[in-house]
Amino acid sequence: MSDLVAIVVAHDSADALPACLAALAREGVPALVVDNASRDATVAVAGAAGARVVCNARNEGYGRANNIGVRAAAGAAWVLIVNPDVELQPGAAAALRDAARAWPDAGLLAPRIVEPDGRFFYQPRSLLAPYLTNPPGRRDLPTGDACAPFLSGACFMVERDLFLALGGFDEAIFLFYEDDDLCRRVADTGRSLVHVHGAVARHGRGRSSAPARGRVFRSRWHQAWSRAYVSRKYGLPDPSPSTMIVNLPKAALAVLAFRRAGFERYGGSVAGAYAAWRGRGALGREGLS
Across 134-162, average pLDDT: 95
Predicted pLDDT of residue 79: 98
DSSP 107-156: EEEEEEEE-TTS-EE-----TT-SSS--TT------SS-EE-S---TTEE
Helix (H, G, I), strand (E, B) or coil at 160: helix
Comparing CA positions, the residue from 7, 152, 155, 26 lying closest to residue 79 is: 7
This prediction's pTM: 0.95
Could you give the CA distance from residue 168 to residue 163 in angstroms, rounded to a whole number? 5
* CATH architecture of structural domain 4-203: Alpha-Beta Complex (3.90)
Predicted pLDDT of residue 289: 76
Could you give the CA distance from residue 179 to residue 199 in angstroms, rounded to a whole number? 19
Could you give the CA distance from residue 70 to residue 61 in angstroms, rounded to a whole number? 14
Contact 4, 80 (CB under 8 A): yes
Comparing CA positions, the residue from 232, 235, 239 lying closest to residue 274 is: 239
Predicted pLDDT of residue 269: 98
Chain-wide mean pLDDT for the chain?
95
Residue 35 host element (H or E): strand 31-36
What is the pairing mode between strands 106-114 and 192-203? parallel
Predicted pLDDT of residue 280: 97
Could you give the CA distance from residue 207 to residue 204 in angstroms, rounded to a whole number? 6
Whether residue 206 is predicted with pLDDT greater than 80 in this model: the reply is no
Across 80-88, average pLDDT: 98
Residue 161 host element (H or E): helix 160-165
Across 82-106, average pLDDT: 98
Across 187-196, average pLDDT: 97
Give residue 53's Cα distance to chain centre: 19
Rg of the chain on CA atoms, in Å: 19
Helix (H, G, I), strand (E, B) or coil at 261: helix
Whether residue 213 is predicted with pLDDT greater than 90 in this model: the reply is no
For residue 227, name the pLDDT band (cuts at 50, 70, 90).
Answer: very high
Domain ranges of the chain: 4-203, 215-285
